[in-house]
Structure 1
Amino acid sequence: MGFKGVILTYAREIVVDASKEVSESSTTAATTEASSLEAEQNPDIEAWRQGVLETVEMVGNGDILALKLTGAGEPAMRALLAKEPLPEEMMLALEQICKRAVERQARIFIDAEQQSVQPGIDDVALGLMEKFNVDGKVAVFNTYQAYLKITPATLLAHLDIADKKKFTLGVKLVRGAYINSEPRGVINETKADTDVSYDAIAQGVIKRDLGPFGKGKRPFPSADLFLATHNKESALMASKWSNELVAAGLPATKVQYGQLLGMADGVSCRLLQMGCVETDGSGKVSPEVFKCLSWGTLGDCLSYLLRRAEENQDAVGRTREEYLQLRRELFHRIRNIFV
């Protein structure tokens, strides 16, 4: 159909209830029988490593591997909550995973999680980008949640780090996925505020003019942008900005798009249709669209999908819109039979 590739994620993760400050595993795959193993081999980390490496073998050239660091269980969670370095065993596993993904010509998304662990995740992501996003190549992306008040400042700080350390910042922009387990004060007051923040960040990165970086200011750092959104307006505006810059011969940040498999398929197909009709030499670019799906045990995937359903409560409205689109297309095809 024209999709650029797949985003595949191993569904195993831990969700923290911010109100109770305890962690709750979404899987029973790993046990606590560490005493029967060598001291340096943690069963949670090893189960996660094996699952992710199995996932790497399922992706290929141009695909994307999405990683959830909390999937490594309590050792990773404790380190992230305490803002301490991850266990050495896990860092070695991450390097092994990234190297194998690069060998298979795939990229890596470090998924965003809750604010209680996000600063630690950011540090890990920046370290991996510094190592793998060199010479203009982008292998690793960090995820930024636009519903958080702090996200614009966080992104600017990371652009500054990328500029000073001379690596390419991979920016995956989402609206956010943990609204029911975050402290209310860290989230934007309204959905409209989040929409404005999302589009402002996307526009600033695409047009290479954001905060202290850009026109007449500091040179904009090397960056790639991935818009993971089910919002049709955001996706179409981003494509419009990119096309305008390319048509004018101006520099633009590379941007790609992604939606969950089975959700917002109308948005995905609309972007693909734009690519079909706009590759006519007029200076417009063809959108590169990906579909995201997860795999794992039944328990892992149910936990993941329940959170996705909670995050996408407006999906019913989109489903009706897609139903109407399909009905119009059906009538159109039936009419053409008799014309």
Structure 2
Amino acid sequence: MADGGLTVIDGSQLRSVDLSLPESSATLTGARVIELAESRASSSLFGLALPETLKSAALLRLNIDAGSFSGTELDEDEAAAWLKDLVNAIADELKDEPLVVAILDGNTLRLFLEDEDDFAMLAENLFTDLDTEDKGKLRKNEICNALAHMGVEMGIPPVSEFPQLNDILKKHGAEGEEELGQAQFAQVLQPVMQEIAEALTAKHVVVIQNIEIINGSKIRKILADEKQLTNVIEKILHEEEGGERNMGEIRGFLEKNGKEFGLPPSKDDEAVVLLYDGMFSEVENRDNAARLEKEESVVLMKEILEKFAEQLEASPVFHDLDN
């Protein structure tokens, strides 16, 4: 998907990855197999550098200690089996905790550059935003700040993911203290954006977004573990003497503390409020104020969690962690 939109990486992209071993691989070390798995996964995920947390979680799924496994010598069959298991573990981890990425390929920048009016408006808005003292002048080195102001949403990768940006700025004289008027600012900005677009066309940049996808995976893990499920339900019910709660109290507790159990936060999110409304309307019709016996509360809580897991799997909630 081109920049201007977001792509969800949920592991499905890895289900048909090439798992063949390199030639002359009669004996491989565990470290080399891990490297191959990460490389094959990255290639199938638009060149994304796999986060360390993802790599560690995949190893943990297979009960692999990276230190001891790295030095292990594997024959061809063992290496092939481990390669398959490692890639599948990465895919499974992404299924449970998908990533949201922006793939920057220069398209958004080209849209601005190809329309004179759009580019003029963009340059004017950037100039106005950066000219905080209303002097009508900006230093050349403010071009870098203008690009940062545009950000990923407008197709500009962060410097950490696009180190050649400094060379592009230098090449086009977008450095130093010389002051520019608005028209001059636009004249310097345009070729910089053009070269960034060309560089991104040649090699896309993938940027992970700070967005959590809540898809019910955590709830399903709780439901599959009887001990963990019991602990969660007791935590929900323990605040009331005798474990009695009514429906309204159960909903209030989940809305306030549900993130701990894999539920989306409902504060200021109309879609999530509607999700809660739908979930509780599906539960057996009861008087919201009526007290529930502890055993009845336990059964009801399990039913509620099951319904949340089912609904979130069908319609995941995207939670922007920056807001």
Pair in the same fold by TM > 0.5:
no
For normalisation by structure 1, the TM-score amounts to: 0.21
Greater relative contact order, per chain length (Cα 8 Å cut-off, separation 6+): 2
Select the structure that is richer in strand.
Answer: 1
For normalisation by structure 2, the TM-score amounts to: 0.21
Select the structure that is richer in helix.
Answer: 2
